[in-house]
């Protein structure tokens, strides 16, 4: 299968958001934020679309991977050094869209984001906010996630810059460790929320 990695543009948002929503349907943090699976299934595409349009896509560093038929089968949402936090003006601009997307879960979502921000590193780094691939059996286990991660991490190594992520599913920690990430902290999430490891990667690791 011929795979291609490209930078996300506005005309990719809907398809990529749907893929990420499927990828995170069973994710512990998504399940805590939206306990009802039906609500989660409806809300996640809107949440990811809002994240793309108002935060991550504006840096022109988000990437998606396609199959040989041109179908989007995964994506990685990155923020460059110093640009991981949404400016206050942008927050206010995006607030109505986030409220519409999250609905009654807005308070939970806000608590989780605030918890993540409390320990976010201040040292310059590339931030991997989201990475996910289509759970369709036709695409699983084919190295799509690896290709997406390597695309940006190779450039981090070339520039001598570290990378940071939060693993919303602790079971994925060994996967990220294969790329040189190590657990450096735990997100101080609300008591009822899942435990979320924070992971850091020095340039050239793994």
Is 201 exposed, middle or buried, given 0-12, 13-18 or 19+ CB atoms closer than 10 A? buried
According to CATH, the topology of domain 4-201 is Aminopeptidase (3.40.630)
Q: Is the pLDDT of residue 2 over 60?
A: no
Give the predicted TM-score (pTM) of the model. 0.94
Write the pLDDT tens digit of every residue in 66-111: 988 889 999 999 999 999 988 888 888 888 998 999 998 999 999 9
Q: Show the 3-state SS of 100-127.
A: HHHHHHHHHHHHHHHHHHHCCCCCCCEE
pLDDT in the model for residue 90: 81
Separation CA 195–CA 148 (nearest Å):
25
Distance of CA 171 to the CA centre of its chain: 16
Over pLDDT 90: what percentage of the chain? 82
Write the pLDDT tens digit of every residue in 129-180: 999 999 988 888 788 999 999 999 999 999 999 999 999 999 999 999 999 9
Q: How high is the mean pLDDT of the chain?
A: 93
Q: 43, 97 in Cβ contact below 8 A?
A: no
């Amino acid at each position: 299968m011929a795979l291609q990695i490209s930078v996300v543009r506005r005309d990719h948002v809907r398809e990529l958001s749907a893929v990420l929503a499927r990828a995170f349907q069973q994710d512990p943090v998504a399940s805590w934020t939206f306990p009802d699976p039906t609500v989660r299934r409806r809300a996640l595409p809107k949440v990811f679309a809002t994240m793309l349009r108002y935060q991550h896509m504006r840096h022109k560093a988000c990437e998606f991977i396609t199959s040989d038929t041109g179908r989007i089968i995964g994506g990685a949402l990155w923020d460059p050094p110093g640009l991981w936090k949404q400016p206050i003006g942008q927050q206010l601009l995006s607030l109505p869209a986030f409220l519409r997307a999250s609905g009654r879960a807005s308070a939970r979502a806000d608590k989780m984001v605030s918890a993540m921000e409390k320990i976010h590193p201040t040292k310059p780094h590339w931030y991997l906010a989201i990475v996910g691939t289509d759970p369709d059996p036709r695409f699983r286990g084919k190295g799509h996630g690896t290709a997406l991660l390597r695309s940006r991490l190779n450039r981090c190594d070339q520039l001598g810059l570290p990378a940071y992520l939060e693993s919303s599913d602790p079971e994925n920690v060994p996967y990220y460790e294969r790329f040189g990430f190590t657990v450096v902290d735990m997100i101080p999430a609300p008591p009822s929320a899942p435990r979320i490891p924070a992971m850091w990667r020095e340039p050239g690791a793994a």
